[in-house]
A = this chain, B = another copy of it.
Amino acid sequence: MPIVEAHILEGYSPTEKSRLTTALTDAIRFVVPAPDEAITVMLHEYPSEAYARGGQHRKPAPALPDPTQIVRAYLAAMEARDLDTAKTTLGVGFQMVFPGTRPMTELSELIDWSKGRYRFVKKTYDGFDALHSGGVAVVYARGTLYGEWMDGTPFEGIRFIDRFEIARDKIQRQDVWNDMAEVRAQ
C-alpha cells in the first residue's frame, strides 16, 4: 500500500523520472512486501521560483547518468578492443582486479596480462544489478564467457561476475571473478 511522494525541481527528463520512480518503488519493495500494484510513486516538480532552501531558489542538479549504461559501454568497448573509447568511461585513479592479478590501473596492462591466457573472450550476460551504496553507484554484471584458448580450442559457458564502482560519472573500480582457472584445471 505504500505511497511515495518525491518533491524535486523541474528539469529532469521523462527517462530520468522513470529511473527515479523505479528506484523508489524498489526501495519500498526492499522493505515492505506490498504487491507491486499497491505501490504508487508521485513526483511533485517545482520550478526554481517555487522552491527555496535556506531562502535561496535552487537549480536542479543534472541527473546522474545510468551507471548500468556506463558499464555496458565500457564492456562493449573492451570486447571490441576499442581502448580509446573504453578509457573515456574511466575515472582518475581507476583500478581493476582480475583473478590472480594485482590491482592494475591501465587497460593496456590488462591486455598484456590476457595475451598469454586466451586468443579472445566475449561475454553473454545473464543480468545486471545496480544500486547506490555509500556514496557510489555499484553495478554488477554477470553471465558466461566464451572464446578461444591460446591453442585455438573454443570454450564457452564459463561463469563470470564483474563488480563496478561508479562515481562522478566515471568507473572508479572494476573487480572481476570467473571460473577460467577452474575450467582450465579440469
Contact A100 B3 (CB under 8 A): no
Question: Of the candidates B2, B51, B64, B97, which one forms a contact with A8 in the assembled complex, judged by CB atoms under 8 Å apart?
Answer: B2
C-alpha gap A55/B17 in the complex (Å): 11
A interface, size bucket: 35 or more
Chain A, residues 155-167, CB within 8 Å of chain B (1/0): the string is 0000111010000
In residues 50-83 of chain A, which contact B (Cβ within 8 Å)? Answer: 50-55, 57-58, 60-64
Task: Select the stretch in A88-96, A108-116, A146-154, A176-184 that faces chain B.
Answer: A176-184
From residue A95, how far is it (CB to closest CB) to chain B in Å? 14
In the assembled complex, A22 has its CB within 8 A of some CB on chain B:
yes
C-alpha gap A86/B34 in the complex (Å): 27
Chain A, residues 1-25, CB within 8 Å of chain B (1/0): the string is 1111111110000101111111111
From residue A64, how far is it (CB to closest CB) to chain B in Å? 5
20 contacts between A and B (CB under 8 A): A1-B58, A1-B61, A2-B6, A2-B8, A4-B6, A5-B7, A18-B57, A20-B31, A21-B57, A37-B38, A38-B54, A40-B51, A43-B50, A44-B50, A45-B50, A99-B182, A100-B183, A100-B186, A159-B175, A181-B181
Interface residues of A (CB under 8 A from B): 1-9, 14, 16-46, 49-55, 57-58, 60-64, 97, 99-100, 129-133, 137-138, 140, 142, 159-161, 163, 175, 177-186
